[in-house]
C-alpha cells in the first residue's frame, strides 16, 4: 500500500515571537500565523486530500481548520502528533535558560526534566502513524498538521535522514529548518517512509508547477461623486450615464476575451460596471471586499479640491489611519492576498477579470510592481494621459510567482490600438 503525506507545520505563535520553548505546552496563533496558514491553504487548494490529521495542540488544530476549508474534511486531532516533550523546560525563555536548554538539545534527551528522548518519541509517533494508516487505502493522500521539532525527529526515526547534514545546509542557506506553515512531502509504501520533498514555504511549493494567469483590471465607470469631485473610497455613489457608456466601451474592448472567472469590489459602482462588461460572457462577477477602494476614513465624501495639498500628501504616503481609514500595510496585505489566491484558484492560461477602483490600482502598482504613485503621475504627465481613467483597463500577468505588465492603465477606447 502507498500513502502520500503532505506535512504542514502550524503557523507562527505567540511563543515563537517571544522566544519561548514550545513543546507540549501551547500558545495561540498570531495574526501573522493565521495569514501564513491561509497562504498555505491557498497553495494546497487543488491538492487531492483524503484525510486530515493534526496535533491535539490548539495551534496545530487552528492551522488545520484553516487548511481544511478548501477540502470539506474535518481534521482529526491526535495526541500522538503533539510536539516533542521538553518536560520542565517547556515554556522557558531560550536565552534566559540557555545553559539548561542547550545540553538537552545536544543530547536530544529531556527525560531527566520529565520530557522525552528519541525512543519515547518514536514509540508514540509510530502509534500515531499506525492509526492513520489503518484509515487509509492505497493511493490516499493525508494532510498532516504538526510541529517543527516533531518533523525534525521524524528525520531521525522513520525517514532515516541525515538530520545533521540537513541542519548544516539550512544554516548555510540562512533558511529555517521548517518554516511556520511550511510544507514537506513524504510517502509510505510497503512499510517504508521516504522523504520526497524537504520543508519549503507556500510560495516555493506553488512555484513547483508552471502557471500563467492574465488579469484584466478595470476601474469602474464615472460616478456622481467623481463628477462632484468628492473623495470616494468605501462610500459609494451611482454610475452616471457617462459612466455606463464608459463601462459599455470596456465591454466592447473585452468582448473577445474568454474569462475563466470574474471578481469585483463589493461597492455598487463596481458591481454595476462588472455587470455591463460581463453581459456578452453570460457570467457574474464574484464580489470581494479585498478589491474595495482605499478607505479614506473621515475624508470620505469631502470635496478634494478644497483640501488638495493635504489629501495629496496623505495619498502619496497611503496613510489614512489617524482619520479612521487604512494605512499602507493594510492596503498592501489585501492586494497581495487577493491576487495570490486568485492566481492559486486559476488554471494555467486562464484570463481573470477584476473590476475595482482607481487608488487601489495605484496601490496595486506599488505592491506588485514596486512602481510608486509619484512615478506613475510623472509617466502620465509626460504622455498627457489620465493615470487612472474611468473604465480604464490594466492588463498584467502572473507567471511562476512573478507579476509583469506591458502598459499602464489605458482608456478602453485605445485597447488593441497602437
**Residues whose CB falls within 8 Å of the CB of residue 267, separated by 6 or more in sequence, listed in order:** 220, 234, 236, 292, 293, 357
Q: Taking the CA of residue 366 as centre, how many other CA atoms within 13 Å lie in the half-sphere pointing to its CB?
A: 22
Select which of 51, 71, 147, 220 is catalytic: 220
Residue carrying the nine cell digits 455591463 = 276
- CA pseudo-torsion sign 269, 271, 274, 275: negative
- 407 labelled catalytic: no
Question: Would you state the cell numbers that stand for residue 329, as one nine-digit string?
Answer: 500595510
Burial per residue of 288-324, b for 16 or more beta-carbon CB atoms within 10 angstroms, e otherwise: bebbbbbbbbebbebebeeeeeebeebbeebbbeeee
What does the H/E/C string look like for 129-198? Answer: HHHHHHCCCCCCEEEEEECHHHHHHHHHCCCCCCHHHHHHHHHHCCCCCCCCCCEEEEEEECCEEEEEEE
DSSP string covering 268-295: HHHHHHHHHHTGGGT--PEE-GGGSPPP
CA separation for the pair 293, 370 (Å, rounded): 19
Select which of 293, 300, 326, 341 is catalytic: 293
Per DSSP bridges, beta strands 286-287 and 261-264 are parallel
- 220 labelled catalytic: yes
Nearest alpha carbon to residue 283 among 361, 352, 360: 352
CA separation for the pair 332, 336 (Å, rounded): 6
Residues annotated as catalytic are 220, 293
Amino acid at each position: 500500500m502507498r500513502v502520500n503525506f503532505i506535512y504542514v507545520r502550524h503557523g507562527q505563535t505567540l511563543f515563537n515571537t517571544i522566544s519561548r520553548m514550545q513543546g507540549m505546552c501551547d500558545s495561540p496563533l498570531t495574526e501573522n500565523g493565521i495569514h501564513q496558514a491561509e497562504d498555505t491553504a491557498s497553495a494546497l487548494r487543488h491538492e487531492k486530500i483524503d484525510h486530515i490529521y493534526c496535533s491535539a495542540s490548539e495551534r496545530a488544530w487552528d492551522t488545520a481548520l484553516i487548511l481544511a476549508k478548501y477540502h470539506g474534511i474535518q481534521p482529526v486531532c491526535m495526541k500522538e502528533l503533539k510536539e516533542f516533550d521538553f518536560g520542565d523546560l517547556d515554556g522557558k525563555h531560550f536565552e534566559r535558560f540557555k545553559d539548561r536548554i542547550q545540553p538537552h538539545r545536544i543530547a536530544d534527551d529531556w527525560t531527566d526534566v520529565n520530557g522525552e528522548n528519541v525512543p519515547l518519541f518514536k514509540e508514540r509517533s509510530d502509534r500515531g502513524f499506525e492509526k492513520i494508516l489503518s484509515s487509509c487505502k492505497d493511493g490516499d493522500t493525508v494532510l498532516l498538521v504538526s510541529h517543527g521539532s516533531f518533523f525534525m525527529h521524524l528525520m531521525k526515526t522513520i525517514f532515516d535522514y541525515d538530520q545533521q547534514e540537513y541542519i548544516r545546509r539550512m544554516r548555510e542557506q540562512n533558511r529555517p529548518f521548517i518554516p511556520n506553515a511550511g510544507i514537506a512531502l513524504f510517502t509510505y509504501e510497503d512499510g517504508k517512509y521516504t522523504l520526497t520533498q524537504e520543508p519549503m514555504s507556500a510560495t516555493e511549493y506553488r512555484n513547483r508547477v508552471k502557471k500563467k494567469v492574465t488579469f484584466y483590471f478595470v476601474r469602474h465607470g464615472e460616478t456622481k461623486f467623481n463628477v462632484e469631485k468628492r473623495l470616494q473610497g468605501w462610500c459609494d455613489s451611482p454610475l452616471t450615464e457617462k459612466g455606463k457608456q464608459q463601462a459599455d466601451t470596456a465591454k466592447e474592448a473585452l468582448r473577445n476575451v474568454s474569462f475563466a472567472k470574474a471578481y469585483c469590489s463589493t461597492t455598487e459602482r463596481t458591481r454595476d460596471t462588472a455587470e455591463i462588461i460581463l453581459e456578452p460572457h453570460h457570467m457574474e462577477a464574484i464580489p470581494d471586499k479585498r478589491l474595495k477602494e482605499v478607505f479614506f476614513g473621515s475624508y470620505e465624501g469631502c470635496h478634494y479640491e478644497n483640501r488638495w495639498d493635504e489629501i495629496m500628501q496623505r495619498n502619496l504616503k497611503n496613510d489614512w489611519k489617524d482619520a479612521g481609514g487604512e494605512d499602507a500595510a493594510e492596503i498592501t496585505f489585501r492586494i497581495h492576498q487577493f491576487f495570490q489566491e486568485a492566481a492559486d484558484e486559476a488554471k494555467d492560461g486562464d484570463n481573470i477579470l477584476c473590476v475595482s477602483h482607481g487608488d487601489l490600482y495605484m496601490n496595486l502598482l506599488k505592491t506588485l510592481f514596486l512602481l510608486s504613485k509619484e512615478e506613475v503621475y510623472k509617466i502620465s504627465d509626460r504622455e498627457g494621459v489620465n493615470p487612472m481613467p474611468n473604465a480604464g483597463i490594466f492588463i498584467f500577468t502572473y507567471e511562476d510567482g512573478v507579476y509583469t505588465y506591458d502598459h499602464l492603465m489605458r482608456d478602453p477606447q485605445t485597447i488593441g490600438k497602437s
